[in-house]
Amino acid sequence: QAQLVQSEAEVKRPGASVKVSCKASGYTFTSYYLHWVRQAPGQGLEWMGMIHPSGGTTNYAQKFQGRVTLTRDTSTSTVYMELSSLRSEDTAVFYCARWLRIKNAFDIWGQGTMVTVSS
Amino acid sequence: DIQMTQSPSTLSASVGDRVTITCRASQSISSWLAWYQQKPGKAPKLLIYKVSNLESGVPSRFSGSGSGTEFTLTISSLQPDDFATYYCQQYSSPWTFGQGTKVEIK
């Protein structure tokens, strides 16, 4: 069945960058947008941006413009989310999620990747 | 950006109770609304899409309604597995979520 598997947890210093991967399987990778959502500890869900794996088209939330970069590797059916200039407030779980246009909803989610930013 | 406001933020209820969660949008979003359930340490799970369509495998005690700016998620008879946090989400760029409603045991 369709699934998204994310990379393992990371610990980073303030000012560093982190790159989280999301590997898709069980469906045609290039047919669906993949989005990234951030969830700080004890907080709600925050949309970061999206990428279409076919052409690599991206759209970022204004809040993350200039700090986040989404890329994809069609040979491995993997999308990447890189967040730079990390600060302690970026400590969060990052999720990738597939957007299913016919339902206008995120129907499949990755398991989440915890990123801890600490000196 | 369209803001989504859920109420209440926390809800205490007992097994068997009928539970209603409200989500209000800062402007009309037509029928572009979904609901998710999230349990601690887990990814969100899609429950309802396009306001009232039940995702495959989701129990029929869950239902959604509304239009325009006001939407509701109803659990007709709360079960032990339903204690979780629920989020509404609108489909527009940028995508936004409500702040969440935690359903806890009374």
Quote the pLDDT of residue B106: 87
Nearest chain B alpha carbon to A41: B41
A103 contacts in B (CB within 8 Å)? 34, 46, 49-50, 53, 55
Quote the pLDDT of residue B91: 87
A35 contacts in B (CB within 8 Å)? 95
Q: Which residue from B49, B93, B100 is facing A105, i.e. has the nearest CB?
A: B49
Quote the pLDDT of residue B92: 77
Quote the pLDDT of residue A16: 98
Question: What's the rounded mean pLDDT across residues A71-76?
Answer: 97
Backbone angles phi, psi at A86, to 5 degrees: -65, 145
Share of chain A above pLDDT 90, in %: 100
Helix, strand, coil tally for chain B in percent (to 5) = 5, 50, 45
- Return mean pLDDT, chain A: 97
Given a contact cutoff of 8 angstroms between Cβ atoms, the answer to whether B42 and B36 are in contact is no
Quote the pLDDT of residue B31: 85
Query: How do beta strands A92-100 and A113-117 pair?
Result: antiparallel
What confidence tier does A114 reach under pLDDT thresholds 50, 70, 90? Answer: very high
Integer angstrom CA distances of residue B29 from A49, A103, B69:
20, 15, 6
Distance, in angstroms, between B14 CA and closest chain A CA?
A: 23
Rg for chain A, CA atoms, rounded: 14
A51 contacts in B (CB within 8 Å)? none
Peptide bond into B94 cis (omega under 30): yes
Q: Which residue from A35, A103, A112 is facing B50, i.e. has the nearest CB?
A: A103
* Contact call for B94 and A44, based on CB within 8 A: no
Select the residue from B2, B5, B46 to test the A interface by mutation, using most A Cβ atoms within 10 A. B46
pLDDT tens string A10-61: 999 999 999 999 999 999 999 999 999 999 999 999 999 999 999 999 999 9
| Residues of chain B with a CB closer than 8 angstroms to some CB in chain A | 32, 34, 36, 42-46, 49-50, 53, 55, 87, 89, 91, 93-100
Q: What is the pLDDT along chain B (106 residues), one digit of tens a residue?
A: 899 999 999 999 999 999 999 999 999 998 899 999 999 999 999 999 999 999 999 999 999 999 999 999 999 999 999 999 999 999 877 899 999 999 998 8
Distance, in angstroms, between B100 CA and closest chain A CA?
A: 6
